[in-house]
Structure 1
Amino acid sequence: MTLPAGRKSRRRFLRSPGQVIVSAFALVVVIGTVMLMLPISRSGPGGAPFITALFTATSAVCVTGLITVDTATYWTGFGQVVIMALIQVGGLGIMALASLVGLLMFRRMGLRTRLTAAQETKSSGLGDVRALLLGVAKVSLAIEALVAILLTGRFLFGYGEAPGRALYLGVFHAVSAFNNAGFALYSNNLVGFATDPWVCLPIAAALILGGLGFPVLLELRRELNRPNKWSIHTRLTLSTYFALLVIAVVFVTANEWNNPATLGPLEPPGRLLAGFFQGVVPRTAGFNSLDYGQMKDGTILATTVLMFIGGGSAGTAGGIKVTTFIILLFVILAEVRGGRDVNIADRRIGSRVQRQALAVALLAVGLVMSATLLLLEITSLPLRDVLFETVSAFATVGLSTGITAQLPVLGQLVLAGMMFVGRLGPITLVSALALREKQLGYTLPEGRPLIG
Structure 2
Amino acid sequence: MLRRWLARTPPPAVLAVGYLVLILLGGVLLMLPPMARAPVTISDALFTATSAVTVTGLAVVDTELVFTFWGQLVIAVLIQMGGLGLMTFAVLIWSALGLPLGIMQGNYLREDLNQTSYVKLTRLVWTILRIVLMAEVAGAMLLCLSFMPHHGLGPGLWHAIFHSVSAFNNAGFSTFSPGLTGYALDPIVNTVIPALFIAGGIGYVVVADLFRRPFWRGWSLHTRMMMIGTAVLIVGGVAMTAILEWNNPRTLGQYDSTTARLTVAWFQGVTTRTAGFNSTDIAGLHDSTSLMYMILMVIGAGPTSTAGGLKVTTIFVMLLATWAFLRRRTEVSGFGRAIPLGDVLKVMALMSIASGVILIAIFLLLLSHDGEFIDIAFEVTSAFGTVGLSRAYTGELSDFGRAVIMVVMFLGRVGPLTLGFFLATRMMPRVRYPAGQVHLG
TM-score category (smaller protein) = over 0.9
1: CA distance, partners of 2:299 / 2:123? 29
2:272 matched residue in structure 1: 282
Instruction: Give me the CA root mean square deviation.
Output: 2.5
**Superposition map of 1:356-371 within 5 A:** 356-371=346-361
What CA distance in whole angstroms lies between the structure 1 residues aligned with 2:398 and 2:18? 28
Tell me what 1:445 maps to: 434
- Is 1:188 the counterpart of 2:178? The answer is yes
Q: Classify the secondary structure of the residue corresponding to 2:136.
A: helix
Aligned mate of 2:146, from 143, 154, 163? 154
Tell whether 2:249 aligns with 1:257.
no
Contact 2:15 2:90 in 1 (8 A): no
Partner SS, residue 186 of structure 1: coil
CA drift at 1:15: 2.1
Could you report, residue by residue, the CA deviation over 1:6-64 in whole angstroms, capped at 9, with x for unpaired residues?
9899569x5211111111111111111111111111111x3x11111110000000000
Instruction: Name the CA shift for 1:94/1:338 in 2 (closer, same or farther; >3 Å).
Output: closer
Whether the aligned pair in 2 keeps the contact of 1:189 and 1:289 (CA below 8 Å) is yes
Unaligned runs of 5+ in 1: 1-5
2:21 equivalent in structure 1: 27
- Superposed counterparts of 1:232-251, under 5 Å: 232-251=221-240
Structure 2 unpaired stretches of 5+: none
- How many Å separate the matches in 2 of 1:166 and 1:8? 44
What is the number of equivalent residue pairs in this alignment? 436
Alignment correspondent of 2:405? 415
Give the match for residue 327 of structure 2.
337
User: 1:397 is matched with which residue: 370, 384, 387?
Assistant: 387
Distance 1:173 1:243 in 2: 26
Matches of 2:217 and 2:434 in 1, distance apart? 43
Contact 1:66–1:399 (8 Å) recurs in 2: yes
Q: Is 1:317 the equivalent of 2:307?
A: yes
Note the 1:111-190 alignment, pairs <5 A. 111-112=100-101, 115=105, 119=109, 122-123=112-113, 124=115, 125-157=117-149, 159=150, 161-190=151-180
1:426 to 2:420 alignment? no
Q: Quote the sequence identity (%).
A: 37
Distance across 2 between alignment mates of 1:316 and 1:121: 18
Mapped contact 1:21–1:120 kept (Cα < 8 A): no
CA spacing shift, 1:391–1:251, aligned 2, 3 Å: same
Which residues of 2 match residues 63-82 of structure 1 at below 5 A?
63-82=55-74
- Assess if the C-alpha contact under 8 Å between 1:20 and 1:116 holds in 2: no
Normalised by the size of structure 2, how large is the TM-score?
0.93
Distance in 1 between the 2:17 and 2:132 partners? 24
> Would you say the 8 A contact 1:194–1:290 is kept in 2?
yes
Q: Distance in 2 between matches of 1:39 and 1:150?
A: 33
Residue 372 and residue 275 in structure 1: after superposition, are their counterparts in 2 closer, same or farther (change >3 A)? same
Residue 3 of structure 1 corresponds to none
CA drift of 1:116 comes to 7.4
For residues 440 and 35 of structure 1, do their structure 2 counterparts lie closer, same or farther at Cα, with a shift above 3 Å needed? Answer: same
Partner of 2:209: 219
Deviation at 1:130, TM superposition (A): 1.2
Report if the CA contact (8 A) 1:64-1:419 is conserved.
Answer: yes
Conservation of the 8 A alpha-carbon contact between 1:394 and 1:421: yes
- Please point out which of 48, 53, 59 is paired with 2:45: 53
Scaled by the length of structure 1, the TM-score of the pair is 0.91
